[in-house]
Amino acid sequence: MRRRREGAPPGERRQTGSRHAGSGPNAAQGYIAPGPHAVRAFVESRPTAVRSVLINANLPHPDWLTRALPAEKIRSAHQDELERCCGGVVHQGLVALGAPPRMLDLPEFLDRAPALVLALDGLTDPRNVGALLRSAEALGVGGVLMTNDRAPELTPGLVKAAAGAVEHLPLVRVVNLSRALVDAKRRGFWVVGLDAEGDVDLEDSARLPDPPLILVIGAEGRGLRPLVQRHCDRLVRISMVGRTESLNAAVAGAIAIHVLASRLRPPS
């Protein structure tokens, strides 16, 4: 997200904020969850989908792992095998292999009537997307819309950054995000786009629509695509008061999710 500036060139105006698992460089191994958080979420949420868990030969087997899986699915491995498996992603000595989470289709997801949904418009950096999924799940987002051709796979880097969120957060693949937003609006959703040039301050709750809401976050630099932007009922900005001129998509998105999600919680 860039600070709002008068007269900014078009290329500087946008604020930030299918491929499926198994089609990338680690396709032969399928879905790979590196690190204790990702592995624990995987084996406790979907134990039958786990093919095997590799653990550094120098580490003890944690109790939660031996409770969740039979012994034949847990195997000691040397550091170099773990490194090859994860393609350089930090794993902390623990990696799970198996089948990816099931992607939902849009009608099935909308039938669940989520109050707040996150939609990603062309955001492809795996670590940014993983961090956004982590924030979304932690703050109570009901699910995430991702396109087939402008969203990253569930790579080890994304799964690691999400820290288990991919196991708990409904993920929806759509062919065309603009069409999906139209379908959702017909079902009563309001669409809010995050944009540095938005005409509504994110903190101005009186000008924000009531739930159910879809928050759309665009790609770094380019921001929301024009057609997606036209389907937004509000374009909101994060007011920048410091001297730093930009926030990346993951940080800007987490701020926006927090503000919108807080409106859904009953007062204490």
Write out the two tokens for 261.
């999600």
Strands 94-98 and 144-147, bridge-based pairing: unpaired
Question: pLDDT tens digits, the chain, 268 residues: what are they?
Answer: 444 333 333 333 333 333 344 433 344 458 999 999 999 999 999 999 999 999 999 999 999 999 999 999 999 999 999 999 998 899 999 999 999 999 999 999 999 999 999 999 999 899 999 999 999 999 999 999 999 887 788 999 999 999 999 999 999 999 999 999 999 999 999 999 999 888 999 989 889 999 999 999 998 778 899 999 999 999 999 888 887 777 889 999 999 999 999 887 766 5
Tell me the C-alpha distance between 266 and 268, whole Å.
6
Write out the two tokens for 195.
């944009």
**Confidence at residue 95, expressed as pLDDT on a 0 to 100 scale:** 97
Residue 154 and residue 87 in contact, taking contact as beta carbons nearer than 8 Å: no
Tell me the C-alpha distance between 132 and 130, whole Å.
5
Tell me the C-alpha distance between 206 and 46, whole Å.
42
51, 69, 98: which is the final residue of a domain?
98
Residue 5 and residue 61 in contact, taking contact as beta carbons nearer than 8 Å: no
**Confidence at residue 94, expressed as pLDDT on a 0 to 100 scale:** 96
Apex 201 CA angle, 233 and 12, nearest 5 = 85
Tell me the C-alpha distance between 151 and 123, whole Å.
6
Q: What total of structural domains would you count in the chain?
A: 2
Q: How far is CA 29 from the centre of its chain?
A: 22
Crossing angle for the helix pair 249-262 and 126-139, nearest 10 degrees?
10
**Confidence at residue 247, expressed as pLDDT on a 0 to 100 scale:** 84
**Does 59 lie in the same domain as 139?**
no
**DSSP helix, strand, coil percent of the chain (3-state; round to 5):** 35, 20, 45
Q: Most distant CA pair in the chain: distance in Å?
A: 63
Predicted TM-score of the model (pTM)? 0.85
**Confidence at residue 268, expressed as pLDDT on a 0 to 100 scale:** 57
**Does 129 lie in the same domain as 39?**
no
**Confidence at residue 127, expressed as pLDDT on a 0 to 100 scale:** 92
Give the total residue count for the chain: 268
67, 83, 98: which is the final residue of a domain?
98
- The amino acid sitting at 1 is M
Write out the two tokens for 13.
């105006």
Phi, psi of 13 (to 5 degrees): -90, -25
**Does 108 lie in the same domain as 94?**
no
**Confidence at residue 1, expressed as pLDDT on a 0 to 100 scale:** 47
Which domain CATH number covers 34? 3.30.1330.30
**Does 155 lie in the same domain as 117?**
yes
Residue 251 and residue 136 in contact, taking contact as beta carbons nearer than 8 Å: no
Please report whether residue 258 resides in a domain.
yes
**Confidence at residue 264, expressed as pLDDT on a 0 to 100 scale:** 78
**Confidence at residue 241, expressed as pLDDT on a 0 to 100 scale:** 81
Domain membership of residue 147 as a residue range: 10-17+103-262
**Does 180 lie in the same domain as 150?**
yes
